[in-house]
A and B are shown apart, each in its own frame.
Chain A
Amino acid sequence: MAETQSIKDRAGEKSLFFGRMLFAVFVIFLLVGALLARMFYLQIVQHDVYATLSTENRVQVEPLNPTRGLIYDRNGVLLAENVPSHNLQLVLERVKNLDDTLATIRAILPISDYEEDRFRTRIERKRRPYEPVVLKENLSEEEISRVAVNRFFLTGVEINATLSRRYPFGSSFAHVVGYVGKINETEMKANDPTQYAGTYHIGKTGVEKTYERDLLGTPGSQLIETNAQGRVLRVLEKNMPTPGIDLTLYLDSELQLLAESLMTDTRGAVVAMDPKTGGILAMVSTPGFDPNAFVTGISNDDYAVLRDSRDVPFLNRATRGLYPPASTIKPFLALGALAAKATTWNYKVPDPGFYILPTDETIKKRDWKEGGHANFVDLMDAIIESCDTYFYDLAFRMKLEAMHDSLEKFGFGMNTTLDVGNMRTGINPSRDWKKARHGFSWFAGDSVNLGIGQGYILVNPVQMAVATTTLVNNGEWIVPKLVDTASAPIRSALNDNIPESLKLPKSDWDKMKRAMRDVLHSSKGTARGTGYGSKFLMAGKTGTAQTFSLGADEVYEAADIDERLRDHGWFTGFAPYEDPSIVVTVFMENGEHGSAMAPIARQMFESWILRGDKR
C-alpha cells in the first residue's frame, strides 16, 4: 500500500480536515454554550429555589415533645404518670424495601395484623421527611435486645424510647381522670398543629381532656443538621419544651377504690364531695374499663367488645347517666316550696294512700305505701317517710314555675361544676321545654309527677351530689371542682355557670337536715337500718325510681328483662350531721330500692370520717 500513500492528495486531505474541524469547533461552541446556559439557569435564575431546597435538605426542625403533666390525688398518689416505653419505628426514607424489612422484623418479633394495619395507615399520612413511623409499641426488654442483635439487617429500623401515659389504678379512675389516646383526624384539624408537633396523644375524656391544654405543655424544637441518611450531625439550635402542668385533684384514692369495690358487678355511680371546698372526693362509674388500653391504641375487636356491651362501660354514669331522681328530689323541692310560701313546716296533708288532683278528679296518684303513712302528714314526716301524697299536693300548689326555679338554684338541668367536662345536664322541665320537646302544653298532672321526682325530670348523680352539697351549705354556692392545685396557673377554659342561691332562714335549712338525719336514724326513716351502730350521725334521702322501659340504647332481651326492669336506687346524704365533711350520692341502675344504697354511703362516710386527720 505504500504507493497509495505517495500519490495521496495532501492538500486536499488537509482542507477536508479543516472543514470538518471548523464544523467540530462550531459544535463545541454550541455545546459549551449549552452547558454555560444550563449552569446559568440553575445557579443564577433558579438559585433561590435551590437554595431553599438545599437548606430544607440539610436543616430540619425537629419537635421536642414536652412531658405531660402528672395527675395526683389529694394525698400525692399518682393517678396518671409517664413511664418509659420503647417503640419500634421505621424511617421509610432509609428503608430500602419495606416488604423485605417487615418480613425480617416479623421473623424477630411478633407483629399482629392490627399493628401492621395501623402502620400501613400511618405511612399514608402526611409526614415530615425522615419522620419515623411507629410499627410496634411497648417493646419488652427481650424484644429490644432481639432487634439490637439483628440491627445489621434492619436498615432504617430504630428503637425509640419515649414516655408513655400509664394509669396505675386501671379502671378505678377511668371515667374521672379519663385517658389519652392517639390523636384522630378530627382532633388534628381542631388543634393547633404546632402544639402537637411531637405529640401523638391527646386527652380524650375526663380530667385528661378538660385540662388538656395545661397537661400538654408547650413543645420545644431543635434545629438539627442531618446528612442524607437522616443521621443527626449536630444540633444547631435548641428550644427546650415546657413540661405540662402537674395537677393535684381533690380525689381521694382510698374513697375512690372503696366506692369501686362497693359497686362491683353493678351498673351505677358514686359521687363524693367535700361540702366545705366543693372538691370532688370520689367519682366512680361502674362498670369501668382499663384506660391503659387506649394509650397504645386498642384493637377494633377489643374495642367492639367494650362498645357493644349492654352494660355500656364507656358511659360515665356519674356525669352522663340521666335518671329520674325520684324521692331524692323531695328535700330540694320542699325547700323551694318553703321559699315560695307554698308550704310551711306546720302544714299537713291528709294521706289516704293516694292523691286526687283537685282540678281533675280522674287523675289519681298512688303513694308508694298502700293505705298511706298517717291520717295527716307534715313536711318533716313527709321527708323522713318519703310521703308521696304530701309532695303531690305540694307540687300542685307550688306550680311548675316555682319548682323549676328552685330546682335550678340547686343546679339541676345545668353543669355547675368548674371542671367536670362533657356532662349531660339532664332536664329541669319547664312549660317552654315541654312545648318545644314534646309539642304539648304542661299539664297539672305533669307537675304532680315532678313532685315525686318522676315524669320529665332527669338528673345525673353529680348533679345530685352538688345539690346535696348546696343544701349542706344552706343554699350558698360552693363551686364543685376536681382540681385542687396546679403546679402553674391554669390556662384551660373552665366552666363558670353558677346559679342564684336559694334564700331561706337558717332554721329551715336546719329542720330539713334534721329530717334527713331521721331518714337514717329514726324508727320511721326510709333507711332506718343504716344508721344503726354508727359512731357519728348521718343524714340523707333515699329514692326509688321507676323504670318504665329499657333505655333507648339497650337491646331487648327476654332472658333478663326482669332484672333490667327493676327500679333504680338512689341515696344522697352527708355526714357527720352536725358539721358535714362529706357528701355522698349513690346511684344504682335496677338497684331496686334507695334504702339498699344507704349502706354503701355509710361505708363511704366511715372511710372518710373515721380516718380523721389522716385523710
Chain B
Amino acid sequence: MPQEFVRSLNDLDFSKRTPLSYRLHIDVPLLLLIAILCLAGLVILFSASGGNEAMVERQAIHMGVGFVVMVVVAQFDPRFYTHWGFLAYIAGVGMLIAVLFMGTEGKGATRWLDLPGLPAFQPSEILKLAVPIMLSWYLTRYHLPPRFKHIAISFVFLAIPFVLILKQPDLGTSLLIAISGIFVIFLAGMSWALILGLVALVLMLAPALWIFVMREYQKQRVLTFLNPESDRFGSGWNIIQSKTAIGSGGLEGKGYMLGTQAQLDFLPESHTDFIVAVLAEEMGYIGVVVLIVLYLAITSRGLMIAARARESFGRLLAGSLILTFFIYVFVNIGMVSGILPVVGVPLPLVSYGGTSIVTLMAGFGLLMSISTHRKL
C-alpha cells in the first residue's frame, strides 16, 4: 500500500517538478563530462594522427552516432533490458560461434563477422554489454547475496563467450568481458571466502594457461612486458618508444603537435592504443593528470548513478559498466606506461575506432537509462 502511495505521488509530480533532462532521459553531468572527453579526444587524435583531418572527421562521426545510440538506449526503462539482455547474449554467443566458422580474418585473428546486408562487425562488441546485462538480470532474479549454485552458473555464462573470444584470438577483449561479468558477481555480493578461493584457483591455473591456451604472440607480449630491452627493435619497440614519449614530455610537455616521438612515427599505434603517450609527450604530466581526473569524474558519476539506482538490477549493471569503463582506462594507460603487458585495449573515447566508441556510448546510454528511470 505505501508503495502505491509513493508512486501516485511521483506520478503527480511528474509533469510539474521533473526537469526536462529527466524527461528526456539524459543525465546532464554525465553528458557534459562525456562531451568534454570526446572533444579532448578529438583534439588529441588530431595531433596523434599527424594532423589528419579526415580521420578526426570520421572519429567525430563515430561519436555522433555514439551519442544518438546513447540517447536512444537511455529512453528505455532498465527493465526493458532484462528481457533483451538474455536474447542479446544468446545472439552474441551464436554469432561468436559463427565467427569461428565463417569469420573474416585480419591481423592474424578472426574477429569480424561479415553477414550479408549488414556492415561487418565484431560480435564480441555485443557481448561487452550483453554479458553484464545478462548476469545482472540472472543474479537479481534471486536473493542477494547469490548462492553458490547461481554464482557457478554465472561463471558458466561468463566462460562461454570468454573462451569463444579467446579462440579468435583476442585476449584483451575476452579478459575485459570476463571482468565486466566478474564485477557483476562481485557487486552482487559473492562472499569474500569464495573470491579468495577463486583467486587462488586462477593462480594455480595460470601455468596451465601459459602452456596450453596462450598463443605464441600473447606469450611474447608478456615476455616483452617483463623485459622490454630484450627485443629492442622487435616487440619491445612499442614499450620503449612509448615510455620515451611519455618521459620526454616532462611536466609541461613539448607542446601541442610538437611531440617528436609521435610526429616522427617513432611511436607505434599512436592514434589507437598508444594515444595517451602522445598526450603525455605533448601536454606533459599536467595533461595526463587532467585526463585522469576527467576519467575519474566520469567514473564517480557512474558510481553515483549505480548507488542511486532504483533496484538491484540497475545497481549491478551500472556498477559493472562503470567499473569496466575504469578498467579500460587503467589497463590502457598502464600498458602504455609499461606497468601492464600490451593487451590491445583502446583508451575510451580517445583512441580512434568506430565500434568501440559506439559500444561505449551504448553503455553510457544504459547508465543514463538507469539514472533517469529511478521512479516506479
Contacts and interface: CB of A to CB of B under 8 A. Distances in A.
Contacts of B241: 57, 228
A28 B189 contact: no
Interface in A2-41: 4-5, 8-9, 12-14, 16-18, 20-21, 24-25, 28, 31-32, 34-36, 38-40
Contacts of A50: 243-244, 246-248
A54 to B, nearest CB: 4
Interface string A352-391: 0000000000000000000000000000000000000000
B246 A43 contact: yes
A43 B323 contact: no
A34 B247 contact: no
Interface in B198-248: 233, 241, 243-248
B296 A46 contact: no
B307 interface: yes
A131 interface: no
Contacts of A34: 334, 339
Contacts of A8: 143-144, 312
Contacts of A112: none
Contacts of B326: 28, 31
Contacts of B244: 50, 53-54, 57
A38 B246 CA distance: 10
A13 B261 contact: no
A5 B137 CA distance: 12
A174 B230 CA distance: 49
B306 A21 contact: yes
A49 interface: yes
A46 B247 contact: yes
A20 B248 contact: no
A53 B248 contact: yes
Contacts of B233: 93
Contacts of A199: none
A16 B145 CA distance: 8
B247 A42 contact: yes
Contact of A16 (B189, B243, B266, B330): B189
A297 B288 CA distance: 56
A597 to B, nearest CB: 65
Contacts of B307: 17-18, 21
B292 interface: yes
Given A38-B337, A54-B245, A21 B319 contact: yes
A227 interface: yes
Contacts of A5: 141
Residue from A5, A14, A28, A55 with most neighbouring chain B CB atoms (10 Å): A28
A44 interface: yes
B264 interface: yes
Nearest to B319: A21
A36 B143 CA distance: 39
B249 interface: yes
Contacts of B187: 17, 20-21, 24
B144 A24 contact: no
Contacts of B249: 43, 47
Contacts of A221: none
Contact of A58 (B143, B266, B303): B266
B315 A17 contact: yes
Contacts of A14: 315
A93 B266 CA distance: 13
A429 to B, nearest CB: 64
Instruction: Give the interface size class of chain A.
Output: 35 or more
B372 interface: no
B301 to A, nearest CB: 13
A229 B303 contact: no
A227 B303 contact: no
Interface residues of B, number: 48
Interface string A296-320: 0000000000000000000000000
A225 interface: yes
A42 B319 contact: no
A44 B141 contact: no
Contacts of A38: 334, 337-339
Nearest to B277: A42
A227 B246 CA distance: 17
A89 interface: no
A429 B292 CA distance: 90
A32 B261 contact: no
Given A50-B246, A54-B261, A57-B244, A4 B142 contact: yes
Residue from A12, A13, A39 with most neighbouring chain B CB atoms (10 Å): A39
B323 A20 contact: no
B243 A42 contact: yes
Contacts of A32: 292, 296, 330
Interface string B310-326: 00100110010001001
Contacts of A20: 186-187, 189, 319
Contacts of B303: 21, 24-25
Contacts of A555: none
A490 interface: no
A233 interface: yes
A57 B237 CA distance: 12
Interface in B243-300: 243-251, 260-261, 264-266, 268, 280, 284-285, 288-289, 292, 296, 299
B259 to A, nearest CB: 9
A4 B249 CA distance: 57
Given A9-B143, A17-B312, A54-B248, A228 B264 contact: yes
Interface in B330-364: 330, 333-334, 337-339
Given A20-B186, A21-B306, A50-B244, 6 more contacts: A35-B330, A36-B292, A42-B247, A44-B250, A228-B266, A233-B264
10 contacts: A12-B144, A24-B323, A25-B303, A39-B333, A42-B246, A42-B338, A43-B288, A47-B249, A53-B244, A54-B248
Closest 9 CB pairs of A and B: A50-B247, A54-B248, A227-B265, A43-B285, A42-B247, A16-B189, A228-B266, A50-B248, A47-B250
